[in-house]
Amino acid sequence: MKCPRCQGELITEQYKGIEVDRCAKCKGMWLDYGELDQLEDIVLDEDEIKGSLMFRSMRGDLLCPKCQRPMQFFNYRAYDLELDFCDQGHGVWLDAGEEKRVLELMARRIKDLKRKESAEAEWAGFVRKLKSKSFSKKVKGLFGK
């Protein structure tokens, strides 16, 4: 297969246990259908909490290395990372270094979810205090009953 970015030769290699096709020239990476999910699973393997993969896509300039049809691109999980994909389901193209960015964003997702859980727990505790009789008495005491 040829690289959709620079037309270099794609060479099959292992990346973190996933068989991928990497360009010898530009170091971009072709992930066959399902391999993007495998890449994400290295950091976060609970699909239901990953968030939406794609909100919308637009026609891109690259051609799929498998079918040679124009690919589309999308902002990966609403982050500032544009990934190209074949709308025929052949796979996803990542430019050099974007595989590391995907892993970083999955790690960030875990931190964001933990922060959200913590904030929700704090809020629930605050609301419980508001509903307590002792809190109500203190507030009434401030206003002289």
Q: DSSP labels for the chain? A: -B-TTT-PBEEEEEETTEEEEEETTT--EEEETTHHHHHHHTT---GGGS--S-S-EEEEEEE-TTT-PEEEEEEGGGSS-EEEE-TTSSEEEE-TTHHHHHHHHHHHHHHHHHHHHHHHHHHHHHHHHHHSHHHHHHHHHHTT-
What pLDDT sits at residue 119? 75
Q: Domain residues of the chain, as ranges?
A: 10-142
**Residue-averaged pLDDT of the chain:** 90
What pLDDT sits at residue 34? 95
CB atoms within 10 A of CB 2: 13
What pLDDT sits at residue 52? 87
Alpha-carbon distance of 41 to 57, in angstroms, equals 23
What pLDDT sits at residue 130? 72
Residue segments in the chain with a per-residue pLDDT below the cut of 50: none
What pLDDT sits at residue 136? 67
What pLDDT sits at residue 63? 98
